[in-house]
Amino acid sequence: MSISDKFEKLLTKAENGESLTREDIVNLLKLPGDYSPALFAAADRVRKENVGDEIFLHGIIKFSNYCERNCLYCGLRKNNEKLSRYRMTDDEIINAAQEIKNSRISTVVLQSGEDSSYSTDRICRLIEQIKKETGLIITLSIGERSADDVQLFLQSGVNRYLLKQETVSPELYKYLRPGCQLDKRMQCLRSLQLLGFETGTGNIVGLPGQTLEILADDLLFMKQFDSGMLGIGPFIAHPDTPFAGIENDDIEMTLRVLAVARLLTRDTNIPATTALGTLHPQGRLLALQAGANVVMTDFTPEIYKMRYDIHPGKSDVGSASEIIIRLEKESQSIGRALSYSPGHRPGK
């Protein structure tokens, strides 16, 4: 059987929703580039069949760039003394949430580094006020918190929680995130899901030390965990981290991982990340044609926005309203429409 015949058979199996083995996934990831369009097209068909043509728009507020972690790949890492740090006040966060509401967007993502200066009580008060004043669906992305904390967040009105596993390789995780344990991360994810959060996971593609087998394990975990949302983005080296100077211009592999994630998870929500736009001018658009169905607009005040410097080369410049206009044009260019509805996972 030729490589073409094997690929056709494997792709048909994936598109039909049959179980894929680790070896199957590795084979999809390592095929020559000529096969990528067929993989992306299959993922796009599965996306259309399971979540429709709407592209759900979320508003994000990055309210603190302080972080107590020292991850080797992230510009917010604690030891980056070149970064100008900020913490938004409660009023600034509430005002940004009001802007999201006024833009007709239904979902706010509250994101920060792992910054314990925002106590659980304070976060709960913020959530309650945002819920009361705006009625927005609230996603939290603030790192690992105790089971007691996340229970209180849920009671305060949080609907979704995004906690990317980054990698399911214990060795790679330990190397990339000094002082952190993968077991603890997984325990936190399980607690979130058991409590009833729509729980998001995800990984970084192109990390130093990563293999196709590790990526396949990430994808199998996403499938097994039944993630509500998947944040899949490329590794982009930050000049003020230990990984400074490591090149990664391989948008192709990130798109393949995203496409296989769609084939495996079927109806989960998958954002087209702004980091893809950093690697390629049409990166976000390519992701939307390879299985993605969510985009985010940054409502962080301008005085802080550029200082949330996880990776260099921000692709989304301009005000939130200008970005929304661009997103609407991009959506129309591929025959799809931007949706301002919450975008709950079908049947969940």
As a whole number of angstroms, the distance between CA 153 and CA 201 comes to: 18
Q: At what angle do helices 212-225 and 251-265 cross, to 10 degrees?
A: 30
As a whole number of angstroms, the distance between CA 103 and CA 340 comes to: 9
As a whole number of angstroms, the distance between CA 55 and CA 284 comes to: 12
Q: Which helix (H) or strand (E) holds 322?
A: helix 320-333
Q: What is the pLDDT of residue 31?
A: 87
pLDDT in tens, 307-339: 999 988 776 777 888 889 999 999 999 999 999
pLDDT in tens, 228-261: 999 999 999 999 999 999 987 779 999 999 999 9
Task: Give the chain's domains with CATH numbers.
Answer: 37-339 (3.20.20.70)
Count H helices, E strands: the chain?
14, 8
Q: What's the gap between Cα 6 and its chain centre?
A: 31
Q: How far is CA 199 from CA 37, 130, 178, 192, 196, in A?
A: 30, 20, 24, 7, 8
Round the CA-based radius of gyration of the chain to a whole number and report it: 19
pLDDT in tens, 101-136: 999 999 999 999 999 999 999 999 999 999 999 999
Name the pTM for this structure.
0.96
Of 207-221, 256-270, 330-344, the one with minimum mean pLDDT is 330-344
CB contact set of 216 (below 8 Å; sequence gap of 6+)? 22, 25, 26, 29
pLDDT in tens, 46-74: 999 999 999 999 999 999 999 999 999 99
Q: What pairing do the DSSP bridges indicate for beta strands 294-298 and 54-64?
A: parallel
CB contact set of 287 (below 8 Å; sequence gap of 6+)? 255, 258, 272, 273, 276
Burial class of residue 13 (count of CB atoms within 10 Å of its CB; 0-12, 13-18, 19+): middle
As a whole number of angstroms, the distance between CA 163 and CA 225 comes to: 12
